[in-house]
């Protein structure tokens, strides 16, 4: 990886972390409307994948979609405005945290329906196939969503139609309060393999591992070799939703994983990073991101709310 790419990877991961941390703090102060799910801890998965995608490739996301949206290039200020339910938000302030979308960036939607984004991504993949281009579609979904019928139906359909699609399952250990080790019957990769997908197990704490593995996978999928499935191990630092007391997690688990496997820490300490980038350069990025988030929060706080007349716009879309 070139220096510029490494700096960009760190910048993206750091941006997502700061974005999530700020929302966590401001939500606790009662300043953030709506229902919030944060993905802090899972950054390397979103960034390691999206760095291989262009605006013409598609992703669908989940209720925990801030990181995916930022990694796919959605505007930071507009996203914060959206979360604050402002007219200047990415979706006019009508979607909020769980319904972030920007078609111009190939981000076809976060989704409050668990598993709902998976068939959506298959539709986008079908478009790529029909048009005969080399674009791909990635469905990000969780360990809980793996057990949804829609997800399994889509795995079958993706194989039957030979879609240019990647199933990126982010196993963060829990679906709400239920451990994924309890809820998933059998072996995940064998299940996906049974549908005929190529299968890959990936340590999602390690940016380099995600980036390298997905680079090979996406090349195969672009060349028409059919759909792929990734089981990506990650961990969410905050609760399932903001306000969750996380009593279902063993005490100290989140702190332990943060200390041992944090993706930003691993990136900074990696021998490759150490050889190519200096700590000072990364500190400089940290400072820039803090400034950017100061601006985003200030903008969101000062932005106007949607008006009554806005209620009747965006109801129907003409395709």
Ligand X SMILES: Cc1ncc(C[n+]2csc(CCOP(=O)(O)OP(=O)(O)O)c2C)c(N)n1
Give the footprint of Mg ion on this chain (CB under 5 A).
142-143, 172, 175
User: Least distance to ligand X from the beta carbon of 83, Å?
Assistant: 17
Residue 64, interface with ligand X (CB under 6 A)?
yes
User: Least distance to ligand X from the beta carbon of 68, Å?
Assistant: 11
Distance, in Å, from the CA atom of 193 to the CA atom of 228, rounded to the nearest integer, reads 9
Residue 145, interface with ligand X (CB under 6 A)?
yes
* Closest listed residue to residue 235, CA positions, set 225, 249, 222, 245: 249
199 touches, from ligand X, Mg ion, none (C-beta below 5 to 8 Å by class): none
What are the DSSP calls for 98-122, one per residue?
A: GG--BGGGTB----SSTTTHHHHHH
Angle at 176 between CA 170 and CA 177, to 5 degrees: 120
Q: How many CB atoms neighbour CB 157 within 10 A?
A: 17
Q: Which is nearer to ligand X, 64 or 72 (CB)?
A: 64
Q: Which residue is nearest to Mg ion (CB)?
A: 142
Residue 204, interface with ligand X (CB under 6 A)?
no
User: Least distance to ligand X from the beta carbon of 203, Å?
Assistant: 17
User: Least distance to ligand X from the beta carbon of 41, Å?
Assistant: 11
Q: Which of 1, 113, 189, 292 binds ligand X (CB under 6 A)?
A: 113
User: Least distance to Mg ion from the beta carbon of 134, Å?
Assistant: 31
Residue 249, interface with ligand X (CB under 6 A)?
no
Residue 151, interface with ligand X (CB under 6 A)?
no
For residue 90, give the DSSP letter.
T
Contacts of 60 (CB under 8 A, 6+ apart): 108, 109, 111, 117, 118, 120, 121, 124, 137, 138, 139, 140
Residue 176, interface with ligand X (CB under 6 A)?
yes
Q: With contacts defined by CB under 6 A, how many residues of the chain interact with ligand X? A: 15
Q: Which of 61, 62, 69, 233 binds ligand X (CB under 6 A)?
A: 62
Residue 144, interface with ligand X (CB under 6 A)?
yes
Q: Which positions from 226 to 245 touch ligand X by CB under 6 A, shown as an x/- string?
A: --------------x-----
Distance, in Å, from the CA atom of 56 to the CA atom of 201, rounded to the nearest integer, reads 26
Task: Provide the CA 79 distance to its chain's centre, in angstroms.
Answer: 14
Residue 143, interface with ligand X (CB under 6 A)?
yes
Distance, in Å, from the CA atom of 257 to the CA atom of 264, rounded to the nearest integer, reads 12
63 touches, from Mg ion, ligand X, none (C-beta below 5 to 8 Å by class): ligand X
276 touches, from ligand X, Mg ion, none (C-beta below 5 to 8 Å by class): none
175-183 contact pairs (CB < 8 A, 24+): 175/114, 175/142, 175/143, 175/144, 175/145, 175/147, 176/144, 176/240, 177/240, 177/248, 178/144, 178/248, 179/248, 180/143, 180/144, 183/143, 183/144, 183/147
Residue 114, interface with ligand X (CB under 6 A)?
yes
Q: Which residues bind ligand X (CB under 6 A)?
A: 62-64, 112-114, 142-145, 172, 174-176, 240
């Amino acid at each position: 990886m070139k220096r510029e790419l490494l700096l960009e990877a760190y910048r993206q991961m750091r941006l997502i972390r700061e974005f999530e941390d700020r929302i966590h703090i401001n939500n606790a102060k009662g300043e953030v409307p709506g229902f919030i799910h944060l993905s802090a801890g899972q950054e390397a998965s979103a960034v390691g994948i999206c760095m291989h995608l262009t605006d013409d490739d598609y992703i669908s996301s989940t209720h925990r979609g801030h990181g995916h949206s930022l990694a796919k290039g959605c505007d930071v200020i507009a996203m914060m405005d959206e979360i604050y339910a402002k007219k200047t938000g990415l979706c006019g302030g009508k979607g909020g945290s769980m319904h972030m979308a920007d078609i111009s960036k190939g981000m076809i939607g976060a989704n409050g329906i668990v598993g709902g984004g998976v068939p959506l991504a298959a539709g986008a993949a079908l478009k790529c196939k029909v048009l005969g281009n080399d674009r791909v579609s990635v469905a990000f979904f969780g360990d809980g969503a793996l057990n949804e019928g829609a997800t399994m139906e889509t795995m079958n359909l993706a194989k039957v139609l030979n879609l240019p699609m990647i199933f990126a399952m982010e196993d963060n250990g829990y679906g709400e309060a239920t451990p994924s080790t309890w809820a998933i019957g059998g072996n995940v990769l064998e299940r996906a393999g049974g549908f005929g997908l190529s299968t890959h197990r990936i340590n999602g704490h390690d940016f380099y591992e995600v980036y390298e593995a997905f680079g090979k996978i996406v090349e195969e999928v672009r060349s028409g070799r059919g759909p792929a499935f990734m089981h990506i191990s990650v961990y969410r630092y905050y609760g399932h939703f903001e306000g969750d007391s996380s009593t279902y997690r063993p005490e100290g688990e989140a702190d332990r994983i943060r200390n041992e496997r944090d993706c930003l820490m691993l990136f900074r300490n990696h021998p490759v990073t150490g050889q190519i980038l200096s700590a000072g350069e990364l500190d400089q990025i940290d400072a820039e991101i803090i400034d950017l988030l100061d601006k985003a929060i200030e903008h969101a706080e000062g932005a106007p709310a949607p008006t009554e007349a806005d209620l009747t716009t965006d109801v129907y879309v003409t395709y």
